[in-house]
Amino acid sequence: DIQMTQSPSSLSASVGDRVTITCRASQDIGSDLGWYQQKPGKAPQRLIYAVSSLQSGVPSRFSGSGSGTEFSLTISSLQPEDFATYYCLQHNSYPLTFGGGTKVEIK
Amino acid sequence: QLQLQESGPGLVKPSETLSLTCTVSGGSISSSSFSWGWIRQPPQKGLEWIGSIYYSGNTYYNPSLQSRVTLSVDTSKNQFSLKLRFVSAADTAVYFCARWQYGSGWHWGQGTLVTVSS
């Protein structure tokens, strides 16, 4: 199985801050990585697919980068609606595996 | 607009079988462009992929659950289903059904909480 190690597990930030979340895969997954945002009591929502492609409707302050085993999600200027938990997901091979999640909280 | 809706009992007794159905509207389940899956989330924890199924019937399961899980598709009802046998308290979670499209990712249902308790 491919393990996805996500860091940090939580962070506190202020509106307007630049925030970066990272995911490390236990083996090369090419560009088969996506990012999801989950708000309390809600289903996750797609943010980014194929490492860096934004889903339709996702604000441009979100961006993704990386390849192989190291990936990151960056929010360039944190907005109030961005406080949520973020997950990476690898779909290079079964079983599909998620990172452990990063909870972004208000400082 | 694609919508997925989970349905099934919210309470299951230990050692029994958890059965959930996902009804798909706004799109056909009989498309080779997609697969259909189940993902769960224990309370206050992260996401775990359970398994995926194609309309052809091909299935892929999480090895940690493979011995207890069966996914199936009913194209006549535009539904797919999950059965998880011999449940325990560790199977208490919100269960999400979702559609997978390569190049786009998971489109999720709203999720349903299943509690395993006597």
Secondary structure string (H, E, C) spanning B1-68:
CCEEEEECCCEECCCCCEEEEEEEECCCCCCCCEEEEEEEECCCCCCEEEEEECCCCCEEECCCCCCC
Distance CA B34, CA A30 (A): 21
Distance CA A63, CA B44 (A): 27
Give tens-digit pLDDT for B33-86.
899 999 999 999 999 999 999 988 899 999 999 999 999 999 999 999 999 999
Give tens-digit pLDDT for A55-96.
999 999 999 999 999 999 999 999 999 999 999 999 999 999
Copy the structure tokens of residue B30. Answer: 């009989």
Count of H-run helices and E-run strands, chain A: 0, 11
Residues of B in CB contact (< 8 Å) with A are 37, 46-49, 52, 60-64, 96, 100, 102-111
Q: What is the mean pLDDT of residues A4-28?
A: 97
Q: Do A43 and B109 touch (CB under 8 A)?
A: yes
Q: What is the CA radius of gyration of chain B?
A: 13
Across chain B, mean pLDDT equals 96
- What is the structure's pLDDT at B102? 87
- What is the structure's pLDDT at B31? 87
- What is the structure's pLDDT at A38? 98
Position B32 pLDDT exceeds 90: no
Q: Using a CB-CB distance cutoff of 8 angstroms, which residues of chain A are in contact with residue B108?
A: 43-45
Three-point CA angle B37, B23, B12, nearest 5°:
75
- What is the structure's pLDDT at A13? 96
Q: Do B46 and A87 touch (CB under 8 A)?
A: yes
Q: Using a CB-CB distance cutoff of 8 angstroms, which residues of chain B are in contact with residue A55?
A: 104-105
- What is the structure's pLDDT at B103? 84
Sole residue written with tokens 């079964």 = A94
Position A106 pLDDT exceeds 90: no
CB pairs under 8 A between A and B: 55
AA identity, residue B35: S
Give how far Cα B75 sits from Cα of A23, A107, B54, Å. 37, 49, 11
Tell whether the torsion through CA atoms of A6, A37, B40 and B30 is positive or negative.
negative
Residue A94 is nearest to which of B60, B64, B103, comparing CB atoms? B60
Q: Using a CB-CB distance cutoff of 8 angstroms, which residues of chain A are in contact with residue B64?
A: 95
Position A4 pLDDT exceeds 90: yes
Q: What is the mean pLDDT of residues B97-106?
A: 92
Count, residues in chain A: 107
Distance CA B46, CA B50 (A): 13
